[in-house]
Every structure is written in structure tokens, then in C-alpha cells.
Amino acid sequence: MTVEQPTSLRADARRNRDQILASARVLFASHGAEVPMEEIARHAGVGVGTLYRRFPDREALIREVAQEAFGTACVGGREALAEAATAWDALVRFLNYSREVKLSVQLAMHSPVAQRVLEEDPRTVGYRDELLAILDEIVRAAQAEGTLRADVGTGDIAIMFSTLLRQLAFRDSELAQRSTARSLALMLDSLRAEGATPLPGSPVTSAELLA
């Protein structure tokens, strides 16, 4: 029994951590980053003390939620580049994977605390830069193959996607998912090279966004 106990404790700790992060994602999305930590603990089915042992403060929890979301999106973006049959398919797949960063984008838009945490955390900033670099590569490849209109930049697409994520909140989760899927499809149609009408000004680049 004494030999197995540490393994059991590690498994319990991991399970508690995962439950807390899952609950934080749900409650941050529905109530914002200022939702009481006690509410997150109740939703996760753990004690407040357990929550604070895993995440000593709200900033640590926000940071972990954002890092997991951005990290997942980066993995998905790299897989899209490696596996998609065309660069256009990679773009479509990337933007669908990028829904993983939806919560982080919303937090940054609506919560001053979360915005500061995300901007000051080097790891999160690194993930953001990596995501833009992946999108840059996909954009160049899709334009080279002639499927993506030539007069858009990575910054244009990132701004469009961020705007899409600012959709009105729906109490009906099915309606929210359906509206996002339809809006994303309309966005992709506007990016196709075929039948495109000229845009005003010059493309917005990822470098301009970072600046």
C-alpha cells in the first residue's frame, strides 16, 4: 500500500488539476475572468484549498488556461501544415483549430486582468508569435497556389478571426456553435481568390499586429 500511495496521489492531483482547468474554461467563457474562485472550485467538484494548492492565485489559473489553449492551437496548426492536401485546406483546418484560442482572445478583449496576464507572460506571448508564424506560412503557400486572394495579409485574417470571436453571447450553446460555424464559412468564402473584388489600402501584416 505504501508503495502505491505516491502514484495514487499523483493521479488524484492530475485529475483535480484537469477538472479545475475544465471548469475555469467554462466559467471564464460564460462569466468572465473575474468569476469567484470558489465558484470554479464548486464547479470542478474540489475544495477551495485544493484549487489554491494547484493555482495560488487567479493570474496563475488564467495563465494556465491560456497556455493550454494556445499550445493546442499551435500543435493543430503544425499538423495542418504537414498533413493537409493543399494550402487552402491547411488554412481551413488552421482556423477551425484556432477556435482553441477563442477563450484566450475573449479574455484579452473583455478582462483587463486577463489582458495584462496574457501580455506579460513570456510563454503565452511565445505561443501567440508561433501561431502568427504558422499562419504566415499558410497564407504565403495558399497565395502561391492561387487559392487565397493575393491582396490580404496574415494580419487581415487574424483581425477577421478575432472579430468573429467577438460574436454576441448566446444562451443556447447549439446556436452559438452554429452561428460561429456559419460565420467562419462566410469569412473563408470572402478570402477565396476566385471572384475577389479589390480591397482598399494595403494588406495588414503580422508584423504590424505585433507592433
| Domains, in order of start, for the chain | 1-56 (1.10.10.60), 65-210 (1.10.357.10)
Site of grid cell 494556465 = 64
* pLDDT at 25 (0 to 100): 87
Alpha-carbon span 1 to 167, nearest angstrom: 53
C-alpha cell at 181: 460555424
Contact 40, 23 (CB under 8 A): yes
Q: 3-class SS at 30?
A: helix
Q: 3-class SS at 146?
A: coil
* pLDDT at 128 (0 to 100): 86
**Residue 193: how many CA atoms within 13 Å on its side-chain side?**
14
pTM score: 0.80
Per-residue pLDDT of the chain (211 residues; tens, 9 = 90+): 433 444 555 888 889 999 999 999 888 877 778 899 999 999 999 999 999 999 999 999 999 988 888 888 899 899 999 999 999 999 999 988 776 667 666 666 667 888 888 888 999 889 889 989 999 999 999 999 999 999 999 999 988 887 877 655 556 667 777 887 888 899 999 999 998 899 999 999 988 888 7
Alpha-carbon span 167 to 171, nearest angstrom: 12
Q: Please give the DSSP secondary-structure letter assigned to residue 150.
A: T
* pLDDT at 178 (0 to 100): 82
Alpha-carbon span 166 to 148, nearest angstrom: 24
